[in-house]
Chains A and B, each alone.
Chain A
Amino acid sequence: MKAYTITRDNLGAWLDALARDYTLIAPVREEETVSLFKPVSGFAEINLGYTNSTVSPKGWLFPQTEEMFFFSTGDGQITLADAQTPGPAVLFGLRPCDIKGILVLDPVFNGAYQDCYYQKRRQNTILVGLSCTRVERHCFCTSMGGGPTDGGGADLLLTEMDGGYGLEALTSRGEELIHRYQDYFIPDRDNRVTAAREELGKKLAGQFTRAVDTTGVKEFLDENFELPYWGELARRCLGCGICTYICPTCHCFDIFDQSPDGESGVRSRCWDSCMFSHFTRMAGGHNPRPTKKERVRNRFLHKLKYHRDRYNLDGCVGCGRCVTRCPVNIDIRQIIADLQEVARHE
Chain B
Amino acid sequence: MKIQENLRETARKLLAGGEASLVIGYAPGSEVSRVVPAFISREEEVNRLVWNPLCINNLAKYLLDYRYEPGKVAVVVKGCDSRAIIRLLQDNQIIREKVIILGIPCSGLINPDLVAARLDPGAQITAATVSKQDFSLQTGEGTFTFTRDEALLEKCRDCEHHTPVIADFMLGEEIPPNDPGDPFIAVKTLEELPVEERSAYWDKQFSRCLRCYACRNVCPACTCRECVFDQAEPCWVAKANNLSENTAFHLIRAFHVAGRCVDCGECDRVCPVNIPLSLLNRKILKDIKDLFNVPTPGTSLEELPPLGTFTNSDPDEFM
Contacts and interface: CB of A to CB of B under 8 A. Distances in A.
Genuine A/B complex? yes
Interface of A: 30-34, 36, 54-55, 64-65, 137, 209-210, 232, 235-236, 238-242, 245-246, 254, 256, 258, 268, 270-271, 273, 276-278, 323, 325, 327-329, 331, 333-334
A331 B270 contact: no
B283 to A, nearest CB: 20
Given A64-B210, A242-B212, A246-B272, 8 more contacts: A55-B272, A64-B241, A271-B241, A276-B213, A327-B57, A327-B269, A331-B30, A331-B31
B272 A270 contact: no
B210 A55 contact: yes
Given A32-B274, A34-B208, A256 B30 contact: no
8 contacts: A65-B240, A209-B31, A238-B217, A238-B218, A238-B270, A240-B213, A268-B240, A325-B272
A136 to B, nearest CB: 11
Contacts of B35: 329
B39 A235 contact: yes
B70 to A, nearest CB: 17
Given A55-B210, A236-B39, A240-B218, A329 B34 contact: yes
B48 to A, nearest CB: 12
Contacts of B39: 232, 235-236
A275 to B, nearest CB: 9
A276 B210 CA distance: 14
A34 B273 contact: yes
Nearest to B34: A329
Interface string B202-215: 00000010101110
Contacts, number: 102
Given A34-B208, A236-B37, A270 B239 contact: yes
A42 B210 CA distance: 25
A55 B39 CA distance: 31
Contacts of B210: 55, 64, 241-242, 245-246
Contacts of B242: 65
Contacts of B240: 65, 256, 258, 268, 270
A329 B27 CA distance: 11
B239 A256 contact: yes
Nearest to A278: B230
Interface residues of B, number: 34
Interface string B189-226: 00000000000000000001010111011100000000
A328 B114 CA distance: 18
A211 to B, nearest CB: 12
A71 B57 CA distance: 47
Contacts of B89: none
A32 B57 CA distance: 23
Given A238-B217, A256-B239, A329 B29 contact: yes
A136 B136 CA distance: 25
Contacts of A245: 210, 212, 272
A235 B39 CA distance: 8
Contacts of B30: 323, 329, 331, 333-334
* Most chain A beta-carbon contacts within 10 A, residue among B62, B212, B242, B269: B212
A238 B34 contact: no
B257 interface: no
Contacts of B274: 31-34
Nearest to B231: A278
B116 interface: yes
A31 B242 CA distance: 20
Contact of A54 (B34, B239, B272): B272
A241 B213 contact: yes
B36 A327 contact: no
A236 B214 contact: no
Interface in B60-81: 62, 65
Contacts of B31: 137, 209-210, 331
A246 B209 CA distance: 12
B295 interface: no
B218 A36 contact: no
Contacts of A54: 272-273
A317 B208 CA distance: 24
Contacts of A240: 212-214, 216-218, 270
B121 interface: yes
Interface in B104-128: 116, 121-122
A194 to B, nearest CB: 32
B187 interface: no
B248 interface: no
Contacts of A254: 239
Q: Which 6 A-B pairs have the closest CB atoms?
A: A240-B214, A331-B30, A327-B270, A334-B30, A329-B29, A329-B34
B288 interface: no
Contacts of B34: 329, 331
Contacts of A238: 214, 217-218, 270
Contacts of A327: 57, 214, 218, 269-270
B238 interface: yes
Contacts of B122: 209-210
A236 B272 contact: no
Nearest to A36: B208
Nearest to B65: A235
Contacts of B213: 240-241, 276
A98 to B, nearest CB: 16
Nearest to B266: A327
A33 B34 CA distance: 18
A278 B228 CA distance: 13
Contact of A242 (B36, B38, B121, B272): B272
A53 B48 CA distance: 34
A272 B226 CA distance: 18
A196 to B, nearest CB: 29
Interface in B26-57: 29-31, 34-39, 57
A313 B88 CA distance: 45
A296 to B, nearest CB: 13
* Most chain B beta-carbon contacts within 10 A, residue among A238, A271, A276: A238
